[in-house]
Amino acid sequence: MTEPAQTTAPENILELEDLKTHFPVYRGFIMKRQSGTVKAVDGVSLKVRRGEVLGLVGESGCGKSTLARTILQLVPTTSGTVILEGRNLGSFSSRELREARTGLQMIFQDPYASLNPRMTVFDTLAEPMIAHGRCTRSEATREVVQLMETVGLAPRYMRCYPHEFSGGQRQRIAVARALALKPSLIIADEPVSALDVSIQAQILNLLSELTREMNLSMIFIAHDLSVVKHISDRIAVMYLGKVVEIGEATSVIENPQHPYTRALVSAIPVPDPEIEHSRKRIVLPGDPPSPLNPPTGCSFHPRCQHANDGCTKTVPVLEKTTGSQEAACLRLGEF
Amino acid sequence: MIARNDPVRKRVARELARPTMAASRVMPLLNVEDLRTYFHTRNGVVKAVDGVSFSVDKGETLGIVGESGSGKSVTCYSMMGLIPQPPGRIESGRAIFDGIDLLSCPTPVLRKIRGDRISMIFQDPMTSLNPYLRISDQLIEPLMTHNSDATKDWALGLAIDALNEVGIQDAAKRIHFYPHEFSGGMRQRVMIAMALITKPELLIADEPTTALDVTVQAQILELIKRLQHELGTAVIFITHDLGVVAGLCDRVQVMYAGRIMETAETEGVYKHPKHPYTKALQQSIPSLQPKGSELFTIPGMPPDLSRDIRGCPFAPRCTEAVERCHTEPILLKTVTDGHSSSCLRTQAGEILT
């Protein structure tokens, strides 16, 4: 096995280069023929710095979750590379991958579905540590107590089953499970979307506290821009499998350059009646196009109010706008 | 949306001429008094809604805000007779809609009103449409049920108009599609078309945009606003999103543990909340704070509704609570003009004034 990424600057914990994940679509039952390709992730290049929280936003179906799964090598990559701490995950055997995944953990959206209902909190948290030989069964209790305290759960609930906990507490268990192997990167896929506002605030506080104290890196996936803004250092906006804008969190939200980001920002309801009544909302026409049959040129052009002839032909690439902000739009700065 | 000389309009005109309606002009469209809905389960009686009173005027938009389990949906389901009984039981209360008590009237009377003069939109457009029936059959059903003299062609014409109205292009062709051929946003549009096709006087929208993307949510909210303006329909909008309420509702009612904590004009609730719970809810929204600042969190958990709650249900989590909050019963009272709160300390003028 070659190690092509040895030269990578060490401050980047994760590097994605032109990552593509395509799913073939078949037609017919007996005479199966490939009738098309869903380009769920279509050429994504990203870097996550050590200790950084990268927010990933976009509408449902834009490829956020597929990107997360591709990074974890849960779905096969079509092309491109995933480099975690200087090592190319794509070239790993399944045994090496198993080891590498200990540094890469995931938190899922629905804490009701992501925990095994037949396993107690202790079983759930001890399993990864024992399976990877991080501790023996007898040491596990001490480790589990420590984990539960880290995420704000009382250790006396160690022998309880998931159904005995509320949604917020279950999400804490899921966070503890992700932390069990002391990973360097956590991918959180919509971790607060299923929770109430007051509980959401608790989990957000917990996650930002943990990333700060443990110097964790995190990819935080959500469709709620206000949540993402609160927790992220940088934000990447995805549309139909591509990153259309990326930059510092505050500058992406306050000074969006891509028309899609502008529409997203203006669609967030603001809990202030005065602002709500005075501001002009950009309402995008139509639904996101089908990734099975994406539009030519810029995939956003059918819904874009600034699109012209050029947008229907040329595919835009990410260009620097201001500071470290980048956007993929042919008409940058023209409107 | 509906042509001038169609049976629905004629019927509405006929009913408008009835004396009861003349009297109701000064009365609110819907008046709910002391509604209590309990669920009798094996683990005890869950008091899901416990003494709720409110009213909705003609053409008004009332937002009901609260976290899951606060009783906002159960309140509306009770009025519509949609609570499964048993285990549910409406213990007390009245819901007067145009002189008729929805809670005690015979089922045939309620059936005449439900889906015709009061309609409902549900949260999940994926599950609230019948996957086996074409959109056309589902859209004309309320018209056919509520008009004995309706013909299918007439109803289909109205249904196509209604689909056009909610922004579905090529409606004449697409009306024959099945629900799975539409996207989530489109299905919610179909639901809205279905709810408004009979020109109801009251529309109950139960978290209609929660399952949708923000951009689609913006489309649906604009649509509800426009149709409401055109038809003069009153709307009860149930949501947990304080942001959605701010742009849409005239009046807001905050619920917690099956009771109303605060109710006022939207401006008032946001600018000068008169209940610590409302204030805490607002502070826990991440939208306005930058990264790094700690979000305000409400300590503890919502109460177990199967236990008897003495005093204010929010008291155990409230930062302002004093001794008597845990013992004295709470009652929704007017604090300032048009602004009611059930907080004992606000009522006494001690806090948040």
| B170 close contact with A: CB closer than 8 A | no
How sure is the predictor about A122, in pLDDT bands with cuts at 50, 70 and 90? very high
Does residue B229 register a pLDDT over 80? yes
Number of cross-chain residue pairs from A and B with Cβ atoms under 8 Å apart:
125
Return the pLDDT at B17. 44
- The 10s digit of each residue's pLDDT in A201-254 is 888 888 988 888 888 999 999 888 888 888 999 999 999 889 999 999 989 988
Nearest by CB: A166 against B213, B290, B301: B301
Strand order in the sheet with A53-57: A104-107, A185-189, A217-221, A53-57, A234-239, A242-248, A326-327, A319-320
Three-state SS sequence of B80-120: CCCCCCCCEEEEEEEEEECCEECCCCCHHHHHHHECCCEEE
Whether ipTM exceeds 0.85: no
Spatial CB neighbours of A119, under 8 Å, sequence gap ≥ 6: A127, A161, A162
Rounded Cα gap, residues A51 and A233, in angstroms: 10
In the predicted structure, residue B162 carries a pLDDT above the cut 90: no
pLDDT of amino acid B336: 87
Token duo for residue B218: 């913006």
Residue with the bigger pLDDT between A159 and B85: it is A159
The lowest-confidence range among A11-20, B12-21, B104-113 is: B12-21
DSSP string, A28-63: -SSS-EEEEEEEEEEEEEEEEETT-EEEEE--TTSS
Question: Is the CB of residue B214 less than 8 Å from the CB of residue A267?
Answer: yes
Query: What pLDDT was estimated at residue A121?
Result: 93
Nearest CA to A128 out of A150, A152, A103 is that of A103
A141-168: average pLDDT: 89
Task: Give yes or no for a contact between A35 and A27, defined as CB atoms under 8 angstroms apart.
Answer: yes
State which residues form the domain around B241. Answer: 29-255
Q: What is the mean pLDDT of residues A73-97?
A: 88
| Chain length of chain A | 335
- Mean of the per-residue pLDDT values for chain A? 86
- The structural domain count of chain B equals 1
Burial A208-239 (b: 16+ CB within 10 A, else e): bebbeeeebbbbbbbbbbbbbbbbbbbbbbbb
* Mean pLDDT value across residues B283-308: 76
Cis preceding linkage at B200, omega within 30 = no
Q: Collect all residues of chain B within an 8 Å Cβ-Cβ radius of residue A208.
A: 291-292
Over residues B246-262, mean pLDDT: 91
Work out the average pLDDT over B149-162: 88
Residue B39: count of CB within 10 angstroms of its CB: 20
Collapsing DSSP to helix, strand or coil, B270 comes out as: helix
Nearest to A267 among B214, B288, B298 (CB): B214
Closest-CA distance, B347 to chain A, in angstroms, reads 25
Residues of B in contact with A288 (CB under 8 A): 213
pLDDT for the residue A7 = 47
Q: Could you give the dihedral angle defined by the CA atoms of residues B7, B12, B16 and B18, in that order, rounded to the nearest 10 degrees?
A: 60
Look at residue A45 in the predicted model and tell me its pLDDT: 92
What is the SS3 assignment for A73?
Answer: coil
- pLDDT of A67 over the 50 cut: yes
Q: Flag if A198 and B67 touch (Cβ within 8 Å).
A: yes
Q: What is the CATH number of the domain that holds B212?
A: 3.40.50.300
Annotated domain spans of chain A: 4-118+161-327
User: What pLDDT sits at residue A109?
Assistant: 82
d(CA B353, CA B346): 7
- Alpha carbons B317 and B320: distance in angstroms, whole number: 9
By C-alpha distance, the chain A residue nearest B70 is: A196
B213 and A263: CB-CB below 8 Å?
no
Is residue B86 pLDDT above 60, yes or no?
yes
Tell if the CB–CB gap between B246 and A281 is shorter than 8 Å.
no
Mean pLDDT (whole number) for B201-212: 86
Report the CATH fold assignment for A4-118+161-327.
Answer: Rossmann fold (3.40.50)
Please provide the average confidence, as pLDDT, over all residues in chain B.
84
Residues B224 and B238 sit within 8 Å (Cβ to Cβ)? no
How many Å apart are CA B183 and CA B126, to the nearest integer?
A: 9
Query: Cβ separation of B68 and A196 shorter than 8 Å?
Result: yes
DSSP alpha helix (H) spans, A197-326:
197-214, 225-231, 249-254, 259-267, 273-278, 309-313
The pair of structure tokens assigned to B247 is 């742009």
User: Are A250 and B67 inside 8 Å of each other by CB?
Assistant: no
Q: What pLDDT does A268 receive?
A: 82
Chain B: nearest CA to A286, how far in angstroms? 8
Across the range A75-87, mean pLDDT stands at 89
Could you identify the residue written with the tokens 């509405």? B12
